[in-house]
């Protein structure tokens, strides 16, 4: 492999490894926080609080990015999460799928990318 392509491969693997680590460990932290919140509510109220993916996305976008009266794609997504007019099956799946499960699966995916890229970097650097 030539020097330039080897440097590009190392740079791209390093970038993918960093993104995988941030996604993996960030989603793991969010998963642990969400499960802790649900357990706290269960112990306090005696009732399990279901938080679906659609509720999590809608609440997250409303708190950080979308204000009342906004227009644009994120505002349209929040509106669709609240009152879908199409893609009703997808909306139902996102409503039923626990946000904690989605976060855990994303953390596994991110960590897998992190480990894969680390192994490939070890191979490239060792060769």
Each residue of 52-100: pLDDT tens digit?
999 999 998 999 888 888 888 999 999 999 899 999 999 999 999 999 9
48 touches 42 (CB < 8 A): yes
CA 107, CA 59: separation in Å to the nearest integer?
Answer: 20
What angle is formed at CA 57 by the lines to CA 52 and CA 60, rounded to 5 degrees? 120
pLDDT(15) > 60:
yes
Task: Identify any residues that bridge with 52 across adjacent strands, giving them in sequence order.
Answer: 98
What's the pTM value of the predicted model, to 2 decimals?
0.83
CA 110, CA 48: separation in Å to the nearest integer?
Answer: 28
38: buried, middle or exposed (CB in 10 Å: 19+, 13-18, 0-12)?
A: middle
């Amino acid at each position: 492999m030539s020097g330039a392509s080897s440097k590009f491969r190392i740079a791209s693997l390093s970038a993918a490894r960093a993104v995988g680590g941030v996604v993996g460990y960030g989603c793991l932290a969010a998963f642990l926080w969400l499960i802790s919140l649900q357990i706290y509510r269960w112990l306090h109220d005696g009732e399990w609080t279901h938080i679906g993916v659609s509720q999590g996305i809608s609440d997250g976008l409303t708190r950080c990015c979308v204000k009342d009266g906004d227009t644009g794609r994120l505002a349209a997504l929040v509106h669709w999460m609240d009152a879908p007019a199409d893609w009703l099956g997808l909306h139902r799946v996102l409503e039923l799928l626990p946000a904690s499960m989605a976060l855990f699966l994303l953390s596994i995916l991110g960590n897998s990318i992190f480990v894969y890229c680390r192994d490939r970097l070890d191979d490239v650097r060792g060769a």
